[in-house]
Amino acid sequence: MNDFERARRFIRSHDWHFAKTMAHIPHWYCLRSEHNDHAAFKWFVSFIQENSREGKFYSKTYHYFYLDGYKYWDMDPTPEVCDLVNRDEYKKDFISDEPYSERPDFLSYNEAVASVLLPLLKPESRIADLQCGSGEFVKWFGKFDGYKGVDNRTKYLAAFREREPEFTQKRLFLERAGNLSYEQQDIIVSLNAEMLDTDDLKRVVNSAAESSTVLLFSRSTLAPFQGLELFKNKNYNLLTNTTTRNTKSIT
């Protein structure tokens, strides 16, 4: 049995889950944690890395392994640390002849956010979405069991609940972000961070656990609040926490 047949056997013997966090760009993934044979998983990752070639995802270049009408890729630096492999149909390469900056604004912003968030999102992630509006995060990235939305604007939360009836008051909070605590959240994110004031932002960061990731995105200008560093991502702004410490709880 050659290596390509061995790869086919691995593919057939593993479960491939639909990636609901990127439902608008359909693809599938398999997890090392679901299978006892970690050596086989490591071998497959090594094999696809060694036999991959460049492919385009809009303006970005990744390395894909192509086999039997599918492409496979991982997002980790080495096979030893890789715990997830993605696959998609080859015909669904996302190639655009248009320059990055000339694509529609919502698509560019979506991609800028996704490039940072996707490596962090896991099916079991506990997510706090600040100034969640009418559900932009859920529309883009899917429905997580551990998702909580926070917004102090009644009409936006009403629209969120109308579109997603299963998101009850236990998952959507009509509050200022700074009135809640976030020590049990894995990811604290906002796609509309320009709507957060300085005091709320400080309370959010101070209530987060040390293991939490705070990611605050904005289409507009953001000030580099104390305790946060400002990063530019294409034409958009990203604030991310450098340190966090341990007011009404979101859990």
The residue extents of the domains of the chain are: 3-92, 105-241
Sign of CA dihedral 191, 64, 19, 3: negative
Q: How many CB atoms lie within 10 A of CB 194?
A: 16
Tens-digit pLDDT profile for residues 75-96: 888 888 888 999 988 754 444 4
Task: Assign 66 a pLDDT band (cuts: 50, 70, 90).
Answer: confident
User: Model-level pTM?
Assistant: 0.54
Give the Cα-Cα-Cα angle 46, 77, 240 (nearest 5 degrees): 155
d(CA 153, CA 196): 12
Report whether 8 contacts 67 (CB < 8 A). Answer: yes
Tens-digit pLDDT profile for residues 121-168: 888 999 999 999 888 898 888 889 999 999 999 988 988 988 888 887
Residue range 105-241, CATH number: 3.40.50.150
Report whether 165 contacts 232 (CB < 8 A). Answer: no
Q: Are strands 126-130 and 146-151 parallel, antiparallel or unpaired?
A: parallel
